[in-house]
Amino acid sequence: MADKVILLVEDNPDDEKLTVRALKKNNIVNDVVVARDGAEALDYLFGTGPHTGEAQHALPALVLLDLKLPKLDGHEVLRRIRADESTRRLPVVILTSSKEEQDLMSGYNGGANSYIRKPVDFTQFTEVVRQLGLYWLVLNETAPA
């Protein structure tokens, strides 16, 4: 499964390190591409901005999307992913510390496949990431491109 890329959209360097560490701890060896704001995530997905002219890369197998992001928030990133035919079926898991019910509702209404609140405890967070990896990268059958 190592050929499946994970796009981690996370602006907090500590949460980024925790997520990557939790993936490695659980032997999830997929390449992780990190986008630190919403615009960077869309540039990566659609080959725009700094990614213009790059060889077309395969879409990630999974997008882990924070909501509170600079430039474009996670809800807008999700809206644009779902609005484009090439990314419409891409699995998007909102992984956020937000406890706002409105964020939960907006996430699912916008087409998120899953909404997970980040546990504060590293051991719990590691278990959440293990289950995410197992389900989305191993068990889940993705739609054909």
pLDDT tens, position by position, for the chain (145 residues)? 457 899 999 999 999 999 999 999 888 889 999 999 999 999 999 988 777 766 567 789 999 999 999 999 999 999 999 999 999 999 999 999 988 999 999 999 999 999 999 887 889 998 999 899 888 888 888 877 6
What's the predicted TM-score (pTM) here? 0.91
Q: Report the pLDDT value the prediction gives residue 1, as an integer from 0 to 100.
A: 42
Question: Which residue in 22, 88, 83, 79 sits closest to 59, CA to CA?
Answer: 88
Distance of alpha carbon 60 from alpha carbon 50, whole angstroms: 18
Report yes or no: 131 and 124 within 8 Å, Cβ to Cβ. no
Q: Which two tokens stand for residue 35?
A: 């986008």
Beta carbons within 10 angstroms of residue 53's beta carbon: 6
* 105 phi, psi to nearest 5 deg: -65, -45
Q: Report the pLDDT value the prediction gives residue 54, as an integer from 0 to 100.
A: 67
